Amino acid sequence: MKNFFTSSSIYSLKKSTIVLRHSYKLFQRKKNRLSASAKMDIQKTLQNLQDEILNKNQQRAYELSKQAEALCDIHMKKTSFDHLRDLFFALLFALVVAVLVRQMWFEFYEIPSGSMRPTLKEQDRLVVSKTDFCINVPLQTKHFYFDPSLVNRNGIIIFTGENMDIKDVDTLYFYLFPGKKQYIKRLIGKPGDILYFYGGGVYGIDEKGQDISPKLQLAELSGIEHIPFIDFDRKISTLQPPSDGLYPSISIYQMNEPVAKLYVSAKNQLSGEMLPQPQTHLSSAPAISSYSDMWGFKNYAMARLLTREQVKLFTDQDPATMEDGLLYLELKHHPSLSSAKLGRDEYGRVRPLLGLSTSIIPLQEKHLRAIFESLYTARFFVKNGFANRYGTTMKNGNTLFLPQLPNVPNGCYEFYNGKAYEVKWQGITLELPPTHPLYRFDPARVQLLFNIGIEFDLRFMPQQIKGQRLVPARYCYFRNKDLYLLGSPVLKQDDPVLINYLAREQQRQTASSMQIPYQPFADMGPPIKSDGTLDVEFIQQYGIMIPPKMYMALGDNHAMSADSRDFGFVPEDNLRGGPDLIFWPPGKRWGIPLQASYNFFNMPRTIVWAGAAIFIGLGVAFWRRKNRLPLTGL
């Protein structure tokens, strides 16, 4: 052994003690391979060294330490195998401890996407507690202990994608062990809850029939919207193989549950039916008979901005019957089985399509400025005048579907609440000055950033394709008679444009046929009775019920979030913990995340922290006992 503990000065007693322990461990491991004389010399030297240390004779201990090092170099030098073995067991021990700590105690987590913006942004670093409401079984989707009463509505949760219908869920932990990715969302519904969506918020009752709406509409979270769908026909299953290129029957899924079927008869007549939903609807309540009545779908529209010419080309509305607008807000609403039609979906399949109603609102400059001042987008890169969404790559320099932002310098950017930011190293953001080219205001720029500010893909812009299926992830709703876009009341109830629009909608309803009456997109009002109390019967009939041992998890950024609306409810066993602290980047969001906080003192945390303290204490005690002088065997 080379002079592992070399020094230009005399060793301290502490350093000599370290030499003694190290040499003694080598001796214990290799003494059976030593000759009798070597064994005697080493044992005598170590015994003398121990005596001098106990007598606190620093000079003599130093001399014997050097002698022990020399003997180790001659007789007990580590081989390559010894080094590899020591490294293996050190890494194995570190790995076991890391797995136990990460699975049962806490871990560091980096946000990979924008699904939880603005609460959590890409590249945020979090400390995630695994003891907020459970004690996890390491490397398994199980709990040693789980307390559902500790799970908070509007709390943020971490869960694994194990046994869930999530794409690209496989990953490697420590670059070695196959596992499933973890996801972070806001918990909205608990088992037995019945929920209904209106005005960007959620109303509901728990399994005992008690109003939980206040827990779902916390004042500090008023800036976060929740939408009950990603699109009106989220997931499609073809029930029969195609005949002459036509898929004659399909099932439509929402919340990853089959909710409706559409059929095409031999005479190309379309029909549809709502499916019983025993897991997601109260069995004692009347069945939902209209697709748009589900969970508040009728309270929301999918929105995009059109020019006057595009209104004429792509809709059945005539802009000459309304005020002139710089741009026109197109609203797709009230999905219907009864008005279904044949068409091609985004995959080119000819199949039955849900019927959708279309409404148009002309927008003036003040409305476009209100949209621009509320604008939020995905995080995006600009390179050589082309913009692409963060997390995507430009393949072989192909810019065919990328929007152009001329005169914008290369960099990474984002909009939130109408403010533009440049994203610097490790996710640090700097607000841009009002003179920055991104703030250039004109109708074309507003239309571009509104329509494709989430996808940054020109295929989501209005195309000359009949029945275009790729539409922006932008949503519109009424709240207290004001019309909201991007979380802001862009048209107030006393705005003449909104008043005229509602009058046209009423006229369309009056003029519609009795067989397929037109449903106007207007404010249906929240599920509140005239006395101000929650309409429990309405919630029970039209709300969505969370199945036993399941949880509804939604992203704060509904436009960019794959969540329960896509992959369904999260099983109880998949819940792993919740975030305690944002520690990077520095700024206003640093600290405890915006959520319904979990109790610090609870049974899981007490058990795990106590267990960790006992384990560490026993480890320290064992180490001290094993290394306490005099050493056993000398």
Residue 2's pLDDT is what? 44
**What average pLDDT is seen over the chain?**
91
Q: For residue 617, which amino acid is it?
A: G
Residue 327's pLDDT is what? 97
* 73-82, 253-262, 400-409: least confidently modelled range: 73-82
Query: How far is Cα 519 from Cα 516, in angstroms, rounded to an integer?
Result: 9
Residue 446's pLDDT is what? 97
Query: How far is Cα 19 from Cα 16, in angstroms, rounded to an integer?
Result: 5
Specify whether the CB–CB gap between 109 and 128 falls below 8 A. yes
Residue 344 bridge partners (DSSP): 350
pLDDT digit string, tens, across residues 173-188? 767 778 899 999 999 9
Residue 588's pLDDT is what? 86
Residue 278's pLDDT is what? 64
* 3 state DSSP class of 339: strand
Q: For residue 462, which amino acid is it?
A: P
CA 233 to chain centroid, in Å, comes to 22
Q: For residue 601, which amino acid is it?
A: F
Residue 133's pLDDT is what? 96
Bigger pLDDT: 620 vs 498? 498
Residue 209's pLDDT is what? 94
On the question of pLDDT at 4 being above 60, the answer is no
Q: Say which DSSP state 435 is in.
A: T
pTM of the model: 0.89
What backbone phi and psi angles, to 5 degrees, belong to 257? -120, 140
Q: For residue 505, which amino acid is it?
A: E
Percent of the chain with pLDDT over 70: 97
* 252-261, 421-430, 508-517: least confidently modelled range: 508-517
Token code pair at residue 266: 């031999």
Residue 507's pLDDT is what? 94
Q: Say which DSSP state 181 is in.
A: -
Task: List the strands of the sheet with 257-264, edge to edge.
Answer: 235-238, 249-254, 257-264, 270-274
Residue 585's pLDDT is what? 92
Specify whether the CB–CB gap between 127 and 580 falls below 8 A. yes
Residue 176's pLDDT is what? 73
Bigger pLDDT: 399 vs 329? 329
On the question of pLDDT at 167 being above 80, the answer is yes
Tokens 């559409």 belong to residue:
262
Query: How far is Cα 549 from Cα 451, in angstroms, rounded to an integer?
Result: 38
* pLDDT band at residue 6 using 50, 70 and 90 as cut-offs: very low
pLDDT digit string, tens, across residues 550-596? 999 999 999 999 999 999 999 999 999 999 999 999 888 899 999 99
State the average pLDDT over residues 131-159: 96
Residue 631's pLDDT is what? 83
On the question of pLDDT at 419 being above 80, the answer is yes
Q: Report the candidate in 34, 116, 100 with the shortest Cα–Cα distance to residue 71.
A: 34
Residue 173's pLDDT is what? 76
Token code pair at residue 270: 């379309």
Residue 396's pLDDT is what? 62
On the question of pLDDT at 434 being above 50, the answer is yes
Specify whether the CB–CB gap between 558 and 475 falls below 8 A. yes
* 128-132, 274-278, 448-452: least confidently modelled range: 274-278
Specify whether the CB–CB gap between 95 and 139 falls below 8 A. no
Indicate if the alpha-carbon torsion angle 6, 12, 14, 17 is positive or negative: positive
State the average pLDDT over residues 203-231: 96
Residue 44's pLDDT is what? 92
